[in-house]
Structure 1
Amino acid sequence: MSAVTNIFLVRHGQTEWNKEHRLQGHKNSPLTQEGKEQAIKTKQALGGYEIHKAYVSPLQRAQDTLALIIDQQAIDVVISNNLKEINLGPWEGKTKQQTLLSDPQQYTHFWQEQEKFNLAGAETYQQLQNRVVSELQTIFANEKGKNILVVSHWIAIKAAIAHYTSTPLSDLSSLPDPKNGEYTILSEPR
């Protein structure tokens, strides 16, 4: 075992709704061919690491991405609701334009003033960050000295990175967006 615990935090591959600029939240759309290729590239990029275990969101796009990355390797997989994307309630399945027209103030908050986003029927960024970070902290505590693959979602990952880089949610826009199929490594000493 290593002296360091590594979490390889992967955003799922591109989906049909990503291409259509639709907000997915807890709803799902299938991976595109490009999304499948992104997952295979991630598999190749991680080829030099021994992955000991995987954690994944229950949403199909994350599950499909994970399946392509581990490609029938005998790796224990834990499905975690805490790794889901932000719940966007009434906005799920709608285009950015539709959400702008339906609620311009919350649209601005969602994209530029995340700490103020509070759409009825949706999760706040703080609620999202709390549950994702709680799950990652549990993984760090339970998987000491291992390399752990975690497949999650755009805003969920970005909110987690904000926590680990001490970036307040009010500055979330300053962080780069995780790209489909790409990963970030979070490390913690054993």
Structure 2
Amino acid sequence: MSAVTNIFLVRHGQTEWNKEHRLQGHKNSPLTKEGQEQAIKARQALKDYEIHKAYVSPLQRAQDTLALIIDQQDIDVVISNNLKEINLGPWEGKTKTETLLSDPQQYHYFWQEQDKFNLAGAETYQQLQERVVSELQAIFSKEKGKNILIVSHWIAIKAAVAYYKSTPLNDLSSLPDPKNGEYIILSDPNNSEQI
């Protein structure tokens, strides 16, 4: 086993709501055919790594992606609520246009000044980042020297990467968005590498 701990952070495959530009948050939408293919491509991309354990969000799109990635492999899986997507409360299931019309100020904050986003009934970016990073830190501590697969979500992953890159939340837009079915490696945990 390597002395380095690697976390492979995978964003779930494309969903129906991704295609419709609907915000998902904690609500579920099934993987599209393309989303299933993205998960299979992730499996192929990761095949040269020995994965020792997997952690996954309880949301169905993440669970379905993980099942396609690990296929028939005998890998222990831990379901973690801390790996869920940001809770968007009243915006969940709504299109970008609908959220813009419902609250233009919060819409602007959500996409451009994330440190100021504070929609009633939703989670802030700070709250999201704290719970995801606390989970990742616990995994780094518990799973020393292992390769760990994590299937999570767009904003959850981006907020975590911002923490490890020391990028403030008000500059989150400067980081690339994780694509469906693609992964980012976090190692040890102070450097991250986009694949």
TM-score range, shorter chain: over 0.9
Which residue number in structure 2 is paired with residue 27 of structure 1?
27
For residue 148 of structure 1, give the secondary structure of its aligned residue in structure 2. strand
Which residue number in structure 2 is paired with residue 135 of structure 1?
135
Matches of 1:182 and 1:5 in 2, distance apart? Answer: 19
| 1:183 partnered with 2:183 | yes
Which residue number in structure 1 is paired with residue 192 of structure 2?
none
* Structure 1 residues 58-113: Cα deviation after superposition (integer angstroms, max 9, x where no partner): 00000000000000210000000000000000000000000000000000000000
Which residue number in structure 2 is paired with residue 74 of structure 1?
74
Runs of 4 or more above 6 Å deviation: none
Which residue number in structure 2 is paired with residue 151 of structure 1?
151
Amino acid in structure 2 at the alignment position of 1:10: V
Matches of 2:28 and 2:107 in 1, distance apart? Answer: 21
Which residue number in structure 2 is paired with residue 13 of structure 1?
13
For residue 121 of structure 2, give the secondary structure of its aligned residue in structure 1. coil
Which residue number in structure 1 is paired with residue 119 of structure 2?
119
Which residue number in structure 1 is paired with residue 99 of structure 2?
99
Amino acid in structure 2 at the alignment position of 1:156: A
Matches of 1:23 and 1:32 in 2, distance apart? Answer: 16
Amino acid in structure 2 at the alignment position of 1:179: K
For residue 149 of structure 1, give the secondary structure of its aligned residue in structure 2. strand
Question: Cα RMSD (Å) of the superposition?
Answer: 0.6
| 1:89 partnered with 2:93 | no
Which residue number in structure 2 is paired with residue 165 of structure 1?
165
* Structure 1 residues 146-188: Cα deviation after superposition (integer angstroms, max 9, x where no partner): 0000000000000000000000001000000000000000000
TM-score using structure 2 length: 0.96
How far 1:11 sits from its partner (Å)?
0.1
Matches of 1:114 and 1:102 in 2, distance apart? Answer: 18
For residue 5 of structure 2, give the secondary structure of its aligned residue in structure 1. strand
Matches of 2:28 and 2:164 in 1, distance apart? Answer: 27
Which residue number in structure 2 is paired with residue 43 of structure 1?
43
How far 1:3 sits from its partner (Å)?
1.0
* Structure 1 residues 119-155: Cα deviation after superposition (integer angstroms, max 9, x where no partner): 0000000000000000000000000000000000000
In the alignment, structure 1 segments of 5+ residues that lack a partner are none
